[in-house]
Every structure is written in structure tokens, then in C-alpha cells.
Amino acid sequence: MTLADNPLTSSGTVPRQSVVASMALGLIDFAADRGADRTALLKPVGLDGRTEEINRRVPLDRYAAMFRLAARQCDDPALAVHFAEATNFADLSIVGLLGYASETMRDALDQLNRFGRLVTDIAVTGPARFVLTREADGLWLTDHRIDDPLFPELTESTFVRMVVGTRQFGDTPYASLAEVTHQDHGQGAELARALGVPVRFGAARNAMRVSEAWQTHRIALYPRYAFALFCAHADTLLAELDAARSVAGQVERAVLPVLHTGTVTAEGVARQLGLSGQGLYRALRAEGTTFEDLLADLRHRFARGYLEQGRASLNEIAYLLGYSDVSAFSRAFKRREGVTPGAWRRAHRNI
């Protein structure tokens, strides 16, 4: 069974931002064991709990809504933390198996960047979601996903899974400090306990200061031939995911690498996708959008992400999004939000 054979949507395409159904089903099982209503949790994500659904795709916003419903039903504001602690990533995704078959921790991170879209296919502010940078106080691992829709539970579960998953491979702590852009809403103590480090809430980014030594820790729980098999299967799944993406999603993927140039045109994208201009227009119209609306939505979504992260100036954001200058960016943003980018950043960056 392929992704295209069993899409979530009736149109034969997968959503632009999505989560693999195996993650949703794993969370539902975990929550149901703690008293949540399985049927009520399946409904928001359009699943019925059958094993053959594991490779379907769930829209990210529906998954986020289901996550919060599960937390309410379990009366557990730290459900994301507890779910990540209690479940093995390799039981939920081929990406987890690849991590455990990698030679070293750094190799596992490379595989996560390569194949992570099989788990969560989401917008990021660069070519890689997880980036290592050496700063004055140490080595930082930053998650460059754009948090739209706002989904702090995804940050918490991702970081906890990274930390907990490494403890079996050595005594060196994986992290010494964590920063998250959202606030503590009752889960903070549990997040700090699971990570084993202090957590700075309301920060400018989602990141962890990690040990230099962890990069060379050996993993290799499976032999090399198993790693090769896992990679081949993951490549097949990734190709299917790209093929099954909505036309709008394919347009976004074509636009992102050249968005900053300000020269993106419908005709150029249509040629890249092997379509005529009219063919692209008709395909997008069938999905309820236009190229112009899609480009404007993409710019706005990225603008919100950059503003929330707080690490780029308004001039830099204007450049990254392909606007001629910061005034053009500010006007476009204000038409959508009713306030300037600066005012929006002050109001939202610490959510």
C-alpha cells in the first residue's frame, strides 16, 4: 500500500502540512490507555484505528487539535512530554528505525533532516529543519520549523524524544539547556524533568544546547545492510509523499528555494512542474486557490514564523520573502493582520 493508494483526502492528494497517521494512532493508543475516549480522538483526524492506516497523512492542524483534546481528556497538560518519554520512535516511524541504524548521533541527525518529512511534513525557514551552530556558550541545535499553526506540543515531544532516545548510548548528557518560544502552561516542570535541563520559556527560538561529545557516540543497533534497506524504503515513501502532495504543496516546494529572489512567476513554476500556465491555473482552482493567493499565503505564513522566532530584522524578513523593500512587506502584512509586523511581533513572539 502506498500513500497515493490511501490518502486522507478524497482528492487523491495529501495536505500541505501533515503528520503520518502512525504518530496519531500512537498518541491515541497512549491516551486511551490513560482513560481518553478512543473514538472521540479518532474523529478529528479522520481515522478509524485500522493498522493499514499507518501510512496515511493527517493534516497538521487536525493532529494539533486532537493532541489538545487528548490532553484535556487525560487531564494532563504535559501529555506531549509523557507520550514522547513512553514511546519508542522506532515503533512509530521508519525514521526512528533509521536513527537507531545510524553509525553515530550526528549521522542520526542527518537522517532526521533527510527523511523527517515522512513523520511531520511541515514548513521550515531553511533547507534543513534541525541545524547545529557553535555559539559563544556552546553548541546549539535549533529547530527551524515555522510554528503555524501554533503547536508547542510538537516542540516538546520532539525535544524529549531526542533526549530520552540518546540516554541508552552513553553517560554524557545530550543537552544542558533548552529554549522554547511558548510559555509554561502547567507542563513546564515535567518538561524540565524529562529533559533533565533548565528550560527557558518565551525565548526567541526552539533550541537546545547540546554536548559536543554526543555527535560521535556510536549507535548502530542494526547492521549496515538493515540501514541500507531502511534507507531504500524511506526513499520510496518520500517519493510517494512528494508525488501525492497537493498541487498547492508542489507549488510551495518549488517556490521556497527562490522566494527571496522576488522573481517567482506562475509561468516559471508551471514549467518546473511540467504544466502549462493554464494547466496550473486549473489545478489550483480545483483545490480552491490561485497562484497569487498561494504565494501571498506562503509569504504571510513565513513572515509570522520569522517574526515569532525574533532572530531576523524586518529588513531581513522582507528580503527573505522577496519583497522589494521593508515598506512593501509592512503594507502586505498589515493588510492581513491589521497591524504592522513590529506590533505583531511584540504581541505574539512569546506565545
pLDDT in tens, 178-215: 999 999 999 999 999 999 999 999 998 999 999 988 88
**Average pLDDT for residues 90-97, to the nearest whole number?**
93
Taking only Cα atoms into account, the Rg of the chain, rounded to an integer number of angstroms, comes to 20
pLDDT in tens, 249-281: 888 878 887 888 888 999 999 998 888 999 999
pLDDT at 254: 85
pLDDT at 83: 98
Sign of CA dihedral 241, 2, 118, 306: positive
| CB-count exposure of residue 132 (10 Å: 0-12, 13-18, 19+) | middle
Task: State the pLDDT at residue 64.
Answer: 96
* pLDDT tens profile 309-345: 777 889 999 998 999 899 999 999 999 999 999 999 8
List the grid coordinates of 101.
541504524
Contact 163, 142 (CB under 8 A): no
So what's the pLDDT on residue 13? 66
Architecture of domain 246-348: Orthogonal Bundle (1.10)
| Percent of the chain whose pLDDT exceeds 90 | 60
Is the pTM higher than 0.85? The answer reads no
47: burial class by Cβ within 10 Å (0-12, 13-18, 19+)? Answer: buried
Going by their DSSP bridges, the two strands 206-210 and 57-59 should be labelled as unpaired
Q: Are 115 and 95 in contact (CB under 8 A)?
A: yes
Nearest alpha carbon to residue 177 among 138, 134, 209 = 209
List beta partners, residue 18. Answer: 59, 121
pLDDT (tens digit per residue) in 106-154: 999 999 999 999 999 988 877 799 999 999 999 999 999 988 778 999 9
- C-alpha 112/C-alpha 280 separation (Å) is 32
Structure-block grid coordinates of residue 147: 510554528
Residues in the chain: 351
Residue found under cell 507542563: 187
Spatial distance between the Cα atoms of 71 and 79, rounded to a whole number of angstroms: 6
Residue 210, CA distances (Å) to 28, 131, 142, 146, 164 in order: 31, 12, 10, 21, 13
The answer on pLDDT for 11 being more than 70 is no
